[in-house]
Structure 1
Amino acid sequence: MRSVAWRPLLVMIACGVCGYIFEVAAASSQAASARAYVSNEDGESVSVLDTQSATNIATIDVGKRPRGLKLSRDGSRLFVAVSGLPKCPPTVPDEECAKLERDLKADGIAIVDTSSHKVVKVLAAGSDPEQFAMSNDGKRLFVANEDTGTLSVVDVAAGKVIERIKVGLEPEGVALTPNGRWVLVTNESDNSVSVVDTTTLKVTKTVPVGKRPRDMAFTPDGNTAYVSGEMDASLYRMSVTGDAPVQRLLQLREEARPMAVILDPPRNRLYLSTGRGGTVAVVDMKGAPQEAKLIKEIPVGKRPWGMALSADGHYLYTANGPSNDVSVVDTKTLTEVKRIPVGKSPWGIVLGPAPP
C-alpha cells in the first residue's frame, strides 16, 4: 500500500527530471547552434543557413558577384569579396571578355553585421577581388586580384590597401598557413603557387603544380600544402618553405575538375569538390606523404565549388552552382543526406558560430 501511495509523487518527480533534462538538452542544442553563409554569385546575395535545422533562414544583399568569404572568430562579422567584373566562363575568348562593361565601384570586400544582416562597410581591396585569406588576428586581408595578377594586402581598420604584391597570372586561391607566417596564392594561368612571407610581404618562391590550380589545404604544422589542379584532375603536394620536390599525389578521373580542398587530419582524410564532375572525392591520407588513395566519390549537386567542414568533422557542405543549392554530406556514411535551396549560383561557403 505504501508503494502505491508514493507512485503519483514518483511520477511527478520523474516528469520533473525529464523536463529538466529536456530543457538542458534544448539549451545545449541552442548553445551549439551554428551558421553557414553561402555566397550566391549571380544572386548578388549571401544565404544564411541554420546548420542545426539545415534550413535557409535569411538572404543578405551584398553587391555584385559575391564569391570568397570569411567569418570573424566570434561570428559577428562576415567578409565577402564582391566584384564589378562581369562573369565570363572559360569557354569565352579573352578578347570577348575584355569588351564587357565593368563596374569598378562595385569592387571590394563587403563587411556584414551578422546580427542585423546588413552591410556596414565596403573595404577597398584592389581590382576584381575573388578569394582572400584573413590574418589570425583579423587585422589584415590578403586578397587575390585575378585580372591584375596581384595580391592586395588590406588593413581592415584603415579600410585601405597597404601593399600590392605581384604574383602569377590569374591568381585565385588564397590560403594562410596555420601559424600565419605564409600566405599561398594559386596562379591559374601560370600553373603555379606563389609563396608570400606575411612579415616582409615579398614572394619567396613560385612552385609549379598541376594545370589551373584552384585551392589548397595545409598540414597542421603548415609545412606542406595540397593543391588541386582543375584541368588535369590532379592533387599535388608541395613544401611551403623547404626544398622537397613537388609531387603529384593523386590522379582523378578525366571528367573530374578538382576545385576546393579540405584536409581533415584527425581522420586522415582529404576532400575535393570536383566541379563539373558533380561529386566530392574522399581521399585516404594515411599513407601520405608517399601516397594517397581515393576512397569514394560522393554524388552531390551540380558543379560543386566551395566546401566547408563542421568542427566535429561529421558534416561536409558543398555549394552547388547550377543547382542553386547546398549539399549536406554525412562523412561517417559518405552519403549526401540533404540539399538546402539557396540563392542563384552559390559559389563559396563558410561555417561558424551564430551571432553573439
Structure 2
Amino acid sequence: MNYKSLIVVCNTGDSTISVIDPYLFREIERIQLPNDSGPYHLVGYDKSCKILVSQYYADSITSIDLLKGEILDSVATGRRPWYMVCDQEGGLAFVTNSDSDTISVVCIKKMKLISQMKTGSMPQGIDFNPHLRTLAIANFNSNNIMIIDADDLSEKKIIRLDKNPMQVKYSSKGDFLYIGCTSSNNSDMGSIKILDTGSYDTLTDISLNALPGQICNTKDGKYILIASMGNGGLVVVDIGEKKIVNHVPTNGMTHGMAMDPKEKYVYVTNPNDNSISVVDWVEGKKINSMKVGKEPNGIIFI
C-alpha cells in the first residue's frame, strides 16, 4: 500500500480497522484484530504510517503498520483502556484506563509499560500540551480535570467542575484548554468550558444542547468542532462569539472526529449506523457517508 494520506477507523463491534482513501472516499483495506479485542481509539506515532490502537476489551494497546497491514506488537495496560495521546518528543504514549482509574505510560519504541499512575474515577479524555509539557485528564465520575507534569508524572493541579467532564483538548498554541462536559441533571445538555492554561480559570462555558464526543479546534483558534453523541452530527462553535454557529446532522450518534490538514473537511464516526461521514464544516453540510465495520469509534487522518 502506498498512499499520500489515509483515514483510519476503529470498528469496536467487530474488532477491525478500516483503512480509507480520503480522495476516493472508499475503503481500501480491512485489518482484523483479535476477536472481541474492541479497538476503540487510535493515534498516529510514526511518519511511515504506524499507529497505536487501544483495545478496550483486551485491556491492552497494539501497534499496527498500516502500509504492511500488520500488527507489530501489543502491551497490557490497565482495565478498559479508552483514550490515548502521544508525546512524540519523549516517545511515550499515555492511556486512560476507565475501570482501574489509572493512566498507563508506554514506551512506544519498545512497546513496554513503564509506569502507571492513579487518577480520579473513570478517566476518559486525555490530551498533551507540548508547549507546557503537561497532560490534562478528564475524570468523569470525580467531576474534575487532573493536570499532570508529563515528564515526572507529578500532579500540578486539580480543576474541580460542576459537571462531568468527558473530553479535553488543548488549543494549538497551548494557551487554552477546552473541556467537553455533560450535565449531571440532563446528559443531553452538555457544554464546552474554555480555560486559560496560565491560571486554569474558566473563561467561558458554552451550552451545546448535545452530549459532547471528541473535540477538534482550528489552528487559528477561532472555532471548536464537537461530535454530538446525543443528538448526532457535528457542532461548530465560534469561540469569539461564544456560541454555536452551526449543527450539521450526519447519520445519528456521532463520536470520533478527524480533520484534514487543510481544515476543509471533518470526518466523523457514526457508531449506531456503522458508517463515517465527511462534512464541509465551513459550508455546514454533509458531503458524503460510507459504511465501515461495526460500531466505528476512533478515527484519524494521517
Q: TM-score, normalised by structure 1?
A: 0.78
Residue 162 (structure 1) shift? 1.5
Superposition CA RMSD, Å = 1.9
* Cα drift, residue 107 of structure 1: 2.0
Counterpart of 1:220 in structure 2 is 172
Deviates more, 1:157-166 or 1:188-197: 157-166
1:223 Cα offset (Å): 2.5
Q: Which residue identity does 1:271 align to in structure 2?
A: L
Using the alignment, how far apart are the partners of 1:34 and 1:302 within structure 2? 27
Mapped contact 2:18–2:293 kept (Cα < 8 A) = yes
**Cα distance, 1:158 vs. partner?**
3.2
- Report if aligned partners of 2:172, 2:221 keep a CA contact under 8 Å in 1: no
* Equivalent in the alignment of 1:80: 53
User: SS at 2:38's partner residue?
Assistant: coil
CA gap 1:348/1:297 in 2 versus in 1, 3 angstroms: same
After superposition, give the CA deviation of every residue in 1:27-78 in whole Å (9 maximum; x if it has no partner).
Answer: xxxx983101100111101111100111111111123111110112414211
Corresponding residue to 1:185 among 137, 144, 152: 137
Equivalent residue for 2:194, pick from 234, 237, 251: 237
Separation in 1, partners of 2:90, 2:248: 34
* Structure (1/2) with the larger strand percentage: 2
Distance 1:138 1:278 in 2: 36
133, 149, 155: which one pairs with 1:197? 149
Equivalent residue number for residue 67 of structure 1: 40
Identical positions, percent: 24
Q: 1:167–1:203: 8 Å Cα contact kept in structure 2? A: no
**Conserved in 1, the CA contact under 8 Å of 2:159 and 2:200?**
no
Q: Which residue of 2 aligns with 1:209?
A: 161
Give the distance between the partners of 1:126 and 1:204, measured in 2 at CA: 23
Cα pair 1:132 1:143 within 8 Å, conserved? yes
Which moved further from structure 2: 158-167 or 244-253? 244-253
Point out where structure 1 has 5 or more consecutive residues left out of the alignment. 1-30, 85-105
| Cα distance in 2, alignment partners of residues 71 and 138 from structure 1 | 14
Alpha-carbon separation, structure 1, partners of 2:200 and 2:26 = 45
Residue from 277, 282, 294 that aligns with 2:244: 294
From 281, 304, 319, the equivalent of 2:235 is 281
Question: Which runs of structure 2 are paired with 1:23-172 in the superposition (5 Å)?
Answer: 33-63=4-34, 64-84=37-57, 106-137=58-89, 139-172=91-124
Partner of 2:260: 310
Equivalent in 197, 202, 208 of residue 246 of structure 1: 202
SS in 1 for 2:142: coil
Structure 2 unaligned residues grouped into runs of 5+: none
Do the aligned partners of residues 244 and 203 (structure 1) sit closer, same or farther apart at CA in structure 2, a change above 3 Å counting? closer
Q: How many residues align?
A: 295
Q: Is the 8 A contact 1:165 1:202 kept in 2?
A: no
What CA distance in whole angstroms lies between the structure 1 residues aligned with 2:222 and 2:124? Answer: 26
Evaluate the alpha carbon distance shift between residue 315 and residue 219 of structure 1 in structure 2; reply closer, same or farther with a 3 A threshold. Answer: same
Structure 1 residue 157: Cα displacement? 2.8
1:101-146 per-residue CA deviation (whole Å, 9 max, x = no partner) reads: xxxxx32111111112111111232222111111123611111011
Query: Cα offset for 1:154?
Result: 1.0
The CA deviation at 1:161 is: 1.8
Q: 2:127 matched to which residue of 1?
A: 175
Higher helix share: 1
Q: Distance in 2 between matches of 1:327 and 1:46?
A: 16
Kindly name which structure, 1 or 2, has the bigger radius of gyration based on alpha carbons: 1
Deviations 1:214-240 (A, max 9, x none): 212222221310110133411111233
In the TM superposition, what is the alpha-carbon distance from 1:269 to its structure 2 partner? Answer: 1.2
- C-alpha deviation, 1:319, in angstroms: 0.6
Higher mean C-alpha deviation, range 66-75 or range 168-177: 66-75
In 2: Cα distance, 1:209 partner to 1:67 partner: 26
User: Retained in 1: the 8 A contact 2:43–2:85?
Assistant: yes
State TM-score, norm by structure 2. Answer: 0.92
Residues 125, 160 of structure 1: 8 Å contact kept: no
Q: 1:78 to 1:180 in 2, by over 3 A?
A: farther
Matched, 1:262 2:242: no
1:322 alignment partner, SS class: helix
Return closer, same or farther for 1:79/1:180 CA change in 2, 3 Å cut-off. farther
- 1:295 counterpart letter in structure 2: V
- Once superposed, which parts of structure 1, at least 4 consecutive aligned residues long, lie more than 6 Å away? none
